[in-house]
A = this chain, B = another copy of it.
């Protein structure tokens, strides 16, 4: 079943207590697609500028399951670039710079060949852009959007309109509580269900994720990684969403049990992403390593 992701393909500069990485391939769409492609083919809709390095394009192309027909190259524009620094415990980060580049221009067009896409994930961007992209998938079976605190603050009405159109929402716990003024993640999820979607996945970083669905609640811890294996948390949430949606697309269903299973795949994929800067760990990953990590996670997170 065809999976598609829309979002940012960018150039990241990262500083962490574990080291630094200068102008590496980043962006939510890149992380999502790289992770999902290990499980199922994934189509990409995004835009980059004339400065987008050939080696970054080569990295995207190296993921066999990633289809780049929807990647727009705009020679006169600049690629989105972001710089960030992680603080000591790696749970907090500060933004050093943001160069919007192509994100200030018209959103990318969805190629005609992509309009039959069934499973749609809209990475975080202005909710009006997400809505515009969503409408270009008339045959969608299931659509899910991410968002962030910025849009909750400056584009709340557009965000609420989007929530009415999607099947699911993925967002961080702090954002979910900010949006709903709920006191915990479960209650925030329930409050968001009242805004339209059938399910909400509340991401809690190193503490896992909670699925609040019209048919039930699921909760999953993160993979219990040693601190020495946590090199760069960038993209963990997007990778989680990629693993989750890949499982949904593979299964062809969006019911509670499928989403619960998808959360485990998302958790496993995210556990790899954080082991290296940028997409480095996802590039060297193979099916046997994924299967082994899933087995370990199932053992570690077994209930009784």
Which chain A residues have a beta carbon within 8 Å of chain B's beta carbons? Answer: 88-90, 182-187, 190, 204, 206-208, 210, 216-228, 230, 260-261, 263-265, 294, 297-304
Contacts and interface: CB of A to CB of B under 8 A. Distances in A.
Contacts of A265: 304
Q: What 7 A-B pairs come out closest when comparing CB atoms?
A: A183-B227, A264-B304, A187-B227, A207-B207, A261-B304, A219-B221, A184-B227
Given A207-B221, A220-B303, A294-B304, 7 more contacts: A183-B230, A208-B208, A216-B300, A217-B224, A219-B221, A219-B301, A263-B304
A190 B224 CA distance: 12
Copies of this polypeptide in the complex:
2
A contacts with B: majority SS: mixed
Contacts of A216: 299-300
A175 to B, nearest CB: 15
A215 to B, nearest CB: 11
Contacts of A260: 302, 304
Contact of A219 (B89, B217, B261, B300): B300
Residue among A264, A265, A302 with most chain B CB within 10 A: A302
B219 A222 contact: yes
A226 to B, nearest CB: 5
